[in-house]
Structure 1
Amino acid sequence: MTVDPPTGWLMLATGADRQHGGNDGYDDDPDLHYSWDDTVPNARTVAVGDRIVLWDKKAVIGASLIEAIETGSAEKILYRCPRCNGANIKRRKRRSPQFRCFPCSDTFETASTRVARVATFRTRHDANWIDLGGCLDGPTLRDLCVSPRSQLSMRALRWDAFLEALGNVGRSRAVAALNSSSTRPRLGRDGHRQVRVRVRVGQREFRRRLLATMGPVCAFTGPGPAAALEAAHLYSYAAVGRHHDDGGLLMRRDLHRLFDQGDIAVDPNTLTINLCKDLLAYEGYATLHGQRLAIAPDPGHIAWMEKHWNQHRVEAD
């Protein structure tokens, strides 16, 4: 009997707080990549083309499609209980002794350690990333898993049920975007997955050109440190697959995410910033509403902004 692979994965992304086998955690950057190694259950089951949802135990962070998985190896320090030699131990943040072993309930200040060579994995999933901003809470996400009581950091998710849950909380635009970008991979004759995806090749060079042309200026808020600015596409790179110089502007990371999901748009007739109703409740964003752009856009920029406006304002009405 052939068992179908999971339709999606719920992945815990809490950086150094995400521990397995008493290790030192992982270097997740949720909207770019997700890391794990072969000490984690399902380590070799997750594949290119799989759909993923990242959360932080409290709420959903975002969702995407895996474009690529980088593999490698590393030496890793593993911590174990000195009493039972079990690996299911956790550091305690506020109590002493600092370690607790869950199988035997022992507590101790110093763990046994060993160095192991592990296989490492890191996704690339930024091209299709959708920021979901906590719209589903932790208990809801657990109930959407194939095994709701699972404690694994990477657990099988019922993808169709997840999309339905998003629709129920008014995130229909996110559902449409995820449906259009998250095409299931096909299995080839050799059993390997084949998938067509958009990887942002040349993104670094694209950002370098924008900085050279416009200087370190956020299109919405004005001059700022270059390190805080991202190269934002005014169109869906996942759909177009090319870097158009007249289709990009520099934006602060939070504003970039809000622009991508249509919560911020630019009126192409007045070149003023338009915020969705929900953002007006936040003083730090509300002051931008109705303000002119901080840069002078080219006709090409305006044409892309008009397409974005039509998609997120005209068609949404």
Structure 2
Amino acid sequence: MLPDQEKVRSRCRFCGNTGFKERATMRPRFWCSRCKNAFDDPTVETLTVTAFRAHYGGTWQPLDGCLDKVQLSELSPSRSHQQSIKRMHQDRTLKAIGDRGVRLPSRREVGGERGHRPQELPGGSRRATASVRRGQDAFRKALVRQYGLICAVTGAAPAEVLEAAHLRPFSDTQHHRVEEGLMLRSDVHRLFDSGLLAIDSHLVVHIAPSLAGHELYSSLAGTPLHIAHDAPIDRAVVADHHAATVATW
């Protein structure tokens, strides 16, 4: 917050309106739609205002569409649609983003010594040909709107590690259905696709016996999914995936 800042504002010299427009070719130069007058020299005044400056730095977290424009507008006491920065109801806003899986950092500064630079390994690039899934980005956005920034297995997670998972292999179906998708953390997604993690029709997590030595993942066994009971998930597809997966354990 920067108090006592000077701001220059121009007004219509006839009615005092600040919303007059500059004309590109016609003269006089300015036109006021309120009082229907044209003029070249607006009335200029200098005001003392409080300015606000945003500093994001390392605390920036993307919401990835889990709150849309309408939902955000309901969290603001301002009804104006012209403002680029709007005052928000703090408690309601924090609760809304918390309910959608966003976790904000504390004010505690996090420090630490820098480690040694790793040995440089061979780099460069090569040409490769790969197929691209059409609609994958839209599929992810739809799942974020439905579930928020929440991994269905482990809970709230940063947007950068959340992926849109298909309950049936996309290579087989070639389509995206919200009912056949879940938001999963990237490592959990890899386990799911590799047949090391399954979900039964009661939406409970099962872990392959081969992961018994990895407490981080074995501890997930028996936990219910972090989704609403009435979530639009196709339980028949979930059951099919579970049966096919556990049959290989």
Give TM-score scaled by structure 1 length: 0.38
- Larger relative CO (CA 8 A, sep 6+): 1 or 2? 1
Query: Greater strand share, 1 or 2?
Result: 1
Q: Larger Rg: 1 or 2?
A: 2
Give TM-score scaled by structure 2 length: 0.48
